[in-house]
Amino acid sequence: MKRPRFYQLLLAISSVFVYQTALAQPTGGSGVTDNDLQLNTITTSLPFLAITPDSRAGGMGDAGTALSANSTSIYWNTSLLSFAEQKSEVSLSYTPWLRQLTNDIHLSYLAGYKQINKIHSVGGALRFFSLGEITFTDINGDVLRDDKPSEFELVGAYAFRLADRFSIGVNGKFAYSNLTGGLTVAGVNTKPGVVGAADLSFSYFNDDAHIGKTDGTYTFGLTINNVGNKVSYSELSRRDFIPMNLKIGNSFLAEFDEYNKVTFSLDLQRLLVPTPAIYKLIDGNYQMLAGMNGDVGIITSMMQSFYDAPGVLAEDENGDYIQNQDGTYQIVEGTRLKEELAEINIAAGAEWWYSDVLALRGGVFYENKNKGNRQFLNLGASLKYNMFAIDFSYLASLNGRQSPLANTLRFTLRLNLAGN
């Protein structure tokens, strides 16, 4: 057991959370707060690739990067399959999506894995996202046709156990996004978006960890997801990034007695795509005043995403932007760092199992108000009997009923094929 490493890592992650939260609060001094930043949400194509598909992590605030392995680990962290207690499992998840807006959008997720031996594990998953029925009209409002846009993702997964406590994983994936059905818009032919991408993952697993006198299992997970090509829906439109992201997860499963187990999980998540720069109309032309050019390659984008936040332009008493002697524009001190920190999403959750039969879950998810403002509370439960288990989760938006994510439900049915 490595107690010092566990406490140091937990302290470091907690410090990031406390620092970001503290910066978000109003202060009486010169500190930068969220209110000093501008709304600057990062958007991507194929956002369905980043939607949490399962009910277990969905009931724990989307903190699933370091949870004990099951079939939906293919989405969260494939390398954890090396440490799964069950040799094989298959699951089916269903999520009615955006029910505050419509009643015919849904996400389905089928996943399964098998441990070949102590070193090698393989798996696969199929994700299908239906956007419901959409009526296309022309500029006069005349109906062109009805269509049912949809997207899907096919994943192959492999986990390799490096040592007793270390494992790596890789996913290869193909995604297809057909949003227009080939409709011609303003004389331009549209086409589906096609993606080839990969996930990379790493895990450290210690089933002989302790906190005080409490025995348990500590897990650390690190993943880089959706590393793939940009997407365009026509020959003339720009190519956009898919939701490449970085996730760092920690969990501790505390075994209090033979009947009661509690897992605590904490994730830090952020996109690895460029932050939009600030453009302003000057003398009839749009000019980039702050930030960096986002029209870069995949690897450059992943690196640039850590330091390209534009911050806030400084203004004089007349409300005009202040220029430096070299012609660049001044940025309010501290706003670039603050904006970079604001791009880190925080997820935390807890799970209680009684006698491996009944589980109750809860969690929270926080996204900065200037980066999307997804803030919600999750609740969930599970029932397990022999080979079967059913999971359920409920999302309550902390932004009120106006949030399109409010009252989201998720359902997962799991089948232990090995029967152990």
- pLDDT, one tens digit per residue, over 281-301 is 877 788 889 999 999 999 999
pLDDT at position 41 is 92
Local confidence band at 420 (pLDDT 50, 70, 90 cut-offs): low
What average pLDDT is seen over the chain? 88
Across residues 9-33, what is the average pLDDT?
A: 44
Gap between the Cα atoms of 246 and 303, Å rounded: 11
Mean pLDDT to the nearest integer, 225-233: 94
Q: State the pLDDT at residue 186.
A: 66
Q: Strand 358-366 vs strand 375-385: parallel, antiparallel, or unpaired?
A: antiparallel
pLDDT attached to residue 325: 87
Q: Which of 12, 98, 7, 66 is nearest to 348 (CA)?
A: 66
Question: Which residues are CB-neighbours of 351 under 8 A, at least 6 positions away?
Answer: 56, 59, 60, 67, 262, 263, 265, 359, 360, 361
Least confident among 1-15, 44-58, 284-298, 371-385: 1-15
Q: How many CB atoms lie within 10 A of CB 150?
A: 16
pLDDT in tens, 38-91: 899 999 999 999 999 999 999 999 999 999 999 999 999 999 999 999 999 999
Higher pLDDT, 151 or 134: 151
Give dist(CA 177, CA 301) in Å, integer.
22
Domain ranges of the chain: 3-277+330-416
Range in 153-157, 164-168, 231-235 with the lowest mean pLDDT? 231-235
Give the pLDDT score at 92.
Answer: 98
Cα–Cα distance measured from residue 207 to residue 1, given in angstroms and rounded to the nearest whole number: 9
Q: CB-based burial of residue 307 (10 Å sphere; 0-12 exposed, 13-18 middle, 19+ buried)?
A: exposed
pLDDT at 169 over 90: yes
Confidence category of residue 152, pLDDT binned at 50, 70, 90: very high
DSSP β-bridge partners for residue 245 = 225, 271
Give which of 420, 356, 415 is closest to 390, Cα–Cα: 415
Q: Which CATH number does 3-277+330-416 carry?
A: 2.40.160.40
- pLDDT, position 212: 86
Lowest mean pLDDT among 13-22, 95-104, 234-243, 395-404: 13-22
Asked whether the beta carbons of 107 and 94 are under 8 A apart, the reply is yes
Query: Which of 15-29, 171-185, 259-273, 361-375 has the least mean pLDDT?
Result: 15-29
| Cβ neighbour number for residue 371 with a 10 Å cutoff | 21
Q: Confidence band (pLDDT; 50, 70, 90) for 216? A: very high
pLDDT at 31: 61
Instruction: Look at residues 199, 194, 200 and name the one whose alpha carbon lies nearest to residue 229.
Output: 194
| 95-128 per-position pLDDT tens digit | 999 888 888 899 999 999 999 999 999 999 999 9
Q: Please give the pLDDT value at position 401.
A: 65
pLDDT of residue 9: 43
